[in-house]
Chains A and B, each alone.
Chain A
Amino acid sequence: MVVPVEPTLEQPSIDVELHRRLVYGDESALREAYAAYGALVRRVAVRVTHSQAAAEDVAQEVFAQLWASPYGFDARRGSLRTWLSMLAHRRAVDWVRSEARHRKDAQADDSALHAIPDAGPGPHETVVDRERSLLLHTALAELPRSQREVVHLAYFAGRTYRQAAVELGIPEGTAKTRLRSALRKLAASLADPPDPAAARGA
């Protein structure tokens, strides 16, 4: 099977066929799904977790879920690409939250802070930015599905808004509007965090 890089009108039927093989327990279908979308799933996970090891865990969970419960994906509701991307994002946000909880539990232990991978500027600044980033990703995970799909295609999967529109089967203007509404909502969530404690995993 060939999964085209450029979105095409055939994508839905490719997803339908791949899903059919997954349902009927065809291992090679899982390999193809991984070859086509493994890099995207890892990219999403790394961007949220900043950790290759965490991204590995997320990828394992995502593809295990696709294999064990293929009916979780419904080709009538969207593409496999966006479904996997959104699932990876949700799992990655969960991973960071649970990390944050552990970190909080181990607050007395100073070393926990230094254990954060890829520490950038100063430890304190990093932690604040990480919390704001988690806040944003949490807000992104809670956007309406129609907006989330466009964000995932345009931001994580590297599509132009026009390509995203084709892939989602919506007018270009709608894709632009959804992307804009989504991003403005995210920007607003930073200015006015709903519940910072939630993002820290309290």
Chain B
Amino acid sequence: MTNDHDGVRELLAAWAVGALPPADARAVPLHLADCETCAAEAERLRATVRLLDGTPGPDTGASGAPGDARDGTARAGEGRGGRERAGGGLGGADGVLASALRSRRARTPGVAPHAAPYAAAVAGLQALVRELPGRWGTPVVHDWDAHATVAHLVAADEHLAVALGVGARLPASRIPAGTPAAYAWELRTADAIAHEHARTPEETVATWAAQAADLLATPEARDPSLAARAATVMGLRLPVADHFVIRAFEAWIHADDIGRALGIAVPPPPDEHLEQLVRLAVRILGVALHDAPPVLVEVTGTAPGTGWVLGSDAEPVAAELTLDPVDFCLLVGGRYAPDEVPRGLTGDERAARNVLATAAALAWL
């Protein structure tokens, strides 16, 4: 090993910063004693590291002399340093955390479980819009750019805001009463986009965020018993609690749209929220499939063994479908074509395809 000139030469940089495992650490000094070239290189690199350390001059041995091998215990250095600090000067920790937390609002605390996914999705979109300056014109989905996508969310959230008596943020609707829900929905979005495109993206974000904060401050967001009452929002008559889950679903799906357009990986909602989205989507899908050939749908990642038979009660189960929860949500959110979504399938393919096609066609967002 001492004669392994090339091998030791390769190790000199790691030696100079003290990053050698024990076996290598023994080989280096033996070779340096014999080899002037390596010794000179070693000293040059070591002098550089001492300057990085801020301790110029010869090694005092005080700060990690490079000869010291890093065995397992020595390499606990980082954790050890952390504990020393935690024991000693933790005065700084509160300061650092407190000032960091002032840089962005945490998700709204104190909401009931049915509104927690929406609170998180709002926080997630707020994090994402920090990446948007200079890129607001990026095409996202439909014929919307990123700015229009947020404007759409203002309009989409507004329907629940109206139902809960939250003051309107957009100019009043010109849409005649009696217009079919789906059409009224599109008109309202078109109005909102036209209105918001005359403003800056920052103003639109502020409008959206203020309305979201108002929604999360309603008694219905905090009290499950108040949220149990049914409300009809855009043609869907559901408990208010479910409407909050739908708001979360939509905010996440559109954040994901924006992320895809910008090449940013938007993480899926926290698992417990994802499960709430899945359960609601399964219920709504179940209604749409009430007389279809029954299919057992398993969504992985939800509570073990959870499956739902969707379809008619009168027939035996024709097929089994297994889907990842994120894929399932993207399918139900209209972001996967039914034949493209990754799935596990056994049994009657036509029955299973009917479930996927119905899920993709729900068009509820």
Bound Cα distance A134, B90 (Å): 28
Number of interface residues of B (CB under 8 A): 66
Q: Any chain A CB within 8 A of the CB of B36?
A: no
Most buried by B among A56, A179, A186: A179
Residues of A within 8 A of B267 (CB): 16, 19-20, 23-24
Bound Cα distance A80, B76 (Å): 18
Per-residue 0/1 for B112-131: is the Cβ within 8 Å of any A Cβ (1 yes, 0 no)?
00000001111110111011
Residues of B within 8 A of A25 (CB): 104-107, 119-120, 122-124, 126-127
Q: Any chain A CB within 8 A of the CB of B10?
A: yes
Within the complex, the shortest CB–CB distance from A33 to chain B, in Å, comes to: 9
Q: Which residue of B lies closest to A175 (CB)?
A: B14
Residues of B within 8 A of A76 (CB): 265
Residues of B within 8 A of A66 (CB): 100
Majority DSSP secondary structure for residues of B touching A:
helix
Q: Does the CB pair B103–A186 fall under 8 Å? A: no
Q: Any chain A CB within 8 A of the CB of B238?
A: no
Q: Does the CB pair B78–A39 fall under 8 Å? A: yes
Bound Cα distance A45, B41 (Å): 28
Q: Does the CB pair A21–B99 fall under 8 Å? A: no
Q: Any chain B CB within 8 A of the CB of A104?
A: no
Q: Any chain B CB within 8 A of the CB of A70?
A: yes
Number of interface residues of A (CB under 8 A): 70
Within the complex, the shortest CB–CB distance from B99 to chain A, in Å, comes to: 5
Within the complex, the shortest CB–CB distance from A182 to chain B, in Å, comes to: 7
Instruction: Decide yes or no: A60 and B70 within 8 Å by CB, A25-B106, A25-B126, A187-B45 being known contacts.
Output: no
Q: Does the CB pair B270–A67 fall under 8 Å? A: no
Q: Does the CB pair B127–A71 fall under 8 Å? A: yes
26 contacts between A and B (CB under 8 A): A6-B75, A16-B267, A20-B270, A21-B270, A23-B123, A23-B124, A23-B127, A24-B270, A25-B122, A30-B97, A39-B81, A42-B85, A52-B89, A60-B99, A68-B103, A71-B128, A133-B51, A151-B17, A158-B70, A159-B75, A173-B10, A176-B11, A179-B19, A180-B10, A183-B16, A186-B52
Chain A residues in the interface with B (C-beta under 8 A): 5-6, 16, 19-27, 30-31, 34-36, 38-40, 42-43, 47-48, 50, 52, 56, 59-60, 63-71, 74-76, 129-130, 132-133, 136-137, 140, 151, 154-155, 157-164, 173, 176-177, 179-180, 182-184, 186-187, 190
Closest 10 CB pairs of A and B: A25-B123, A25-B107, A154-B19, A68-B103, A39-B82, A20-B267, A180-B13, A63-B100, A64-B103, A24-B120
